[in-house]
Amino acid sequence: MTKTSRIKFRYQYHPSHALWLIIFLLSFFLQLFDLADSWRFNRGLVAQGDVWLLFSGHMVHLNWSHWLLNMAGLAIVAFFFSTHASFRQWMTVILTSACVISAGLWWWMPDIRYYVGLSGILHGLFLYGALREIHFYPASGYVLTAVLLAKLGWEFFNGALPGSEEMAGGRVLTEAHLLGAIGGALVWLSEYLFNAIKSRFM
């Protein structure tokens, strides 16, 4: 008789896991206590000085189905890309994507009065992670990058993916997806250029 081998799950901690957990818990409790209205991007209140709403709006959601969709996206980023960058790098992507999205909402889309959701930042995280993946696993990195770019291209020319607005329970602001991805790409590009210059002159 041969002994059956047991499948062992070995969890390896990475500092970015704490960041994903913080986002998960913060957005969960904001949804649980129905704080979306007071935390969402509100153009009128921002104009009156509540600038923090430019950033807090990314942490609240329309409803539980919208929240679940975004948490599924966060889980994908955490599972596939966590170890590709440090806590500081991931935090930089989040802040940069949030700034690019918020600036775009304010200057490029003045007709948008309210905005909620993490999906824009998620697109920045995913693109950054996919571009970083190319360094470790080129085949999957190029495929994931191409898939996301194809999705963004579809949304740019055709609007939200079929069924996405029904699942989210409201309008999907695809422009925020594009802006978030631009934020992630900017962080990756700045790191790439810095490393290229560093290797050339140091």
Is the confidence at residue 202, as pLDDT, over 80?
no
Task: Tell me the DSSP string of 13-34.
Answer: --HHHHHHHHHHHHHHHHHHTT
pLDDT mean over 119-135: 98
7-21, 161-175, 187-201, range with the lowest pLDDT: 7-21
Please name each of the domains of the chain with its CATH number: 15-201 (1.20.1540.10)
pLDDT tens figures, 46-59: 999 999 999 999 99
Residue where the block lists tokens 């806590």 = 87
8 pLDDT tier (thresholds 50, 70, 90): low
pLDDT mean over 117-133: 98
pLDDT tens figures, 89-113: 999 999 999 999 999 999 999 999 9
193 token code pair: 């250029």
143 pLDDT tier (thresholds 50, 70, 90): very high
pLDDT of residue 71: 98
Is the confidence at residue 67, as pLDDT, over 70?
yes
11 pLDDT tier (thresholds 50, 70, 90): low
C-alpha span between 188 and 202 (Å, rounded): 21
Start-end of H helices in the chain = 15-32, 36-39, 43-47, 53-56, 64-81, 87-103, 119-136, 138-158, 164-168, 174-201
Give Cβ neighbours of residue 73 (< 8 Å, ≥ 6 apart).
118, 119, 122, 126
